Amino acid sequence: MSDTANGTPRRVSILGSTGSIGKNTLDLIGRSPERYQVVALTANGNAEALAAQAKATRAEIAVVADEAAYGRLKEALAGSGIEAAAGPQAVCEAAARDADWVMAAIVGAAGLAPTLAAVERGATIALANKECLVCAGDLFMAEIRRAGATFLPVDSEHNAIFQVFDFEKKERIERIILTASGGPFRDWTREAMAKATPEQAVAHPNWSMGAKISVDSASMFNKGLEFIEAYHIFGIAPERIEILVHPQSVIHSMVGYVDGSVLAQLGSPDMRTPIAYCLAWPDRMVAPVPHLDFPKLGHMDFRAPDPDRFPAIRIVRETLRRGGVAPTAMNAANEVAVAGFLGRQIGFLDIPAVVEATIDDVMAGPLGNQAVDHLDAVMAVDGEARRIAAGHALAHAAAA
């Protein structure tokens, strides 16, 4: 990989550059512009913001997935010399351009095809888009190995584990402890959660993130998705992955060894730390994050997650146990349910109900035994699950 060690700027692309992770990545790149050459930036429909980013970084190409946004992108880039393109296929082609390092920060299963396009040419992949591993974990990790791509986890928990996980002595690892803030509804009753609004759900106490992951944090589906993500990245049996609520979000996760040692990575809850880790890897770089002030922090709290108020964790454990198409269906159903909640069609507690019913229906349906070992098969299950989940969401909306 070309990098700053020999004076050559690292060629980087960002899939989902207009989102929360994308903007944090560009913030870090903007602090050392001489070290990076931006190849491709992509968004969904946010053409104006994308064009401004492309101009500021002198990117080679800017791509919107939504074809309806192409005219606005083209107009905003007029005279800049930056290429403009649109459509899901164009996003994949941008991902396949010869960047050394690719940030995968599209939200949802929509990021799977473009991220695989970058994987297939053996790039270094910084993966924030956890849904890739949830909907197609076996396929994704197999492609990483086949293509000889380098995989770096961006999610703060997996980045923390990656930093303290001794891959050479994996058999000496007893457990992984995934920490969870508990989200904005950590201390709410189920009655209060039933009336929760989208505004309350996205108001995360510790992290500033996109809408979908914020709702996932509130339902704790986010921790469930991360459970599956950890299973695929670290190859640890599900029963050895624990979830621990830690409201301060200072310990980002831990690895327990057979001798009783527990190694942890700590830091302020700021995504620029794990992004910087991936951007500079295998080196480290300065990140403009508040440094931990332990006397001010004073104490750290821990508790077990409450399975009654947060059924997502049980649903996800069962989903992984069922295997096959279940994780793909669960991911798609959750995306549909979260969109329904954000659009005020269904209530907050309808989310797990829609997800569970969808998984059962998909598994009992014609695609229930389908092998999800190639992209088309994954997308077929994803599409079927979305159709079924939309029906369940409609039923909940009608009953409300």
Ligand X SMILES: NC(=O)c1ccc[n+]([C@@H]2O[C@H](COP(=O)([O-])OP(=O)(O)OC[C@H]3O[C@@H](n4cnc5c(N)ncnc54)[C@H](OP(=O)(O)O)[C@@H]3O)[C@@H](O)[C@H]2O)c1
User: Applying CB under 6 A, which residues contact ligand X?
Assistant: 16-22, 43-46, 65, 91, 105-107, 110, 128-131, 155, 207, 209-213, 271
Minimal distance in Å, beta carbon 159 to ligand X? 9
Nearest to residue 340, comparing CAs of 294, 395, 264? 395
CB of 295 to ligand X, least distance (A): 27
Nearer to ligand X by Cβ, of 46 and 219: the residue is 46
For residue 351, give the amino acid letter. Answer: I
CB of 225 to ligand X, least distance (A): 7
Identity of the residue, 77 or 357, whose beta carbon is nearer to ligand X in the bound complex: 77
29 vs 107, beta carbon nearer ligand X: 107
Q: How far is the CB of 154 from ligand X (least distance, A)?
A: 6
For 216, half-sphere exposure in the C-beta direction (CA atoms, 13 angstrom radius) is 26
Q: Convert 303-319 to b/e letters by CB count within 10 Å (16 or more is b).
A: eebeeebbbbbebbbeb
**Which residue, 60 or 157, is less far from ligand X as judged by CB?**
157
Identify which of residues 3 and 114 has a Cβ nearer to ligand X in the complex: 114
156, with CB counted inside 10 A (0-12, 13-18, 19+), is buried
Q: Which is nearer to ligand X, 4 or 206 (CB)?
A: 206
CB of 24 to ligand X, least distance (A): 7
CB of 43 to ligand X, least distance (A): 4
Tokens representing 313 are 């964790």
CB nearer ligand X, residue 14 or residue 357: 14
- CA-CA distance, 258 to 191, in Å (whole number)? 42
In what order do the strands lie in the sheet containing 36-43? 83-86, 61-64, 36-43, 10-15, 101-104, 124-127, 150-153
Contacts 24+ apart (CB under 8 A), 392-398: 392/333, 392/353, 392/354, 392/357, 392/358, 392/361, 393/336, 393/337, 393/340, 393/345, 393/346, 393/350, 393/354, 394/345, 396/340, 396/346, 396/347, 396/350, 396/353, 396/354, 397/340, 397/345, 397/346
Phi, psi of 208, rounded to the nearest 5 degrees: -105, 115
For residue 6, the minimal CB distance to ligand X (Å) is 31
Q: How far is the CB of 356 from ligand X (least distance, A)?
A: 21
Comparison of 254 and 357: residue with beta carbon closer to ligand X: 254
Strands (E), the chain: 10-15, 36-43, 61-64, 83-86, 101-104, 124-127, 150-153, 173-180, 241-245, 251-257, 262-266
Q: Which residue is nearest to ligand X (CB)?
A: 19
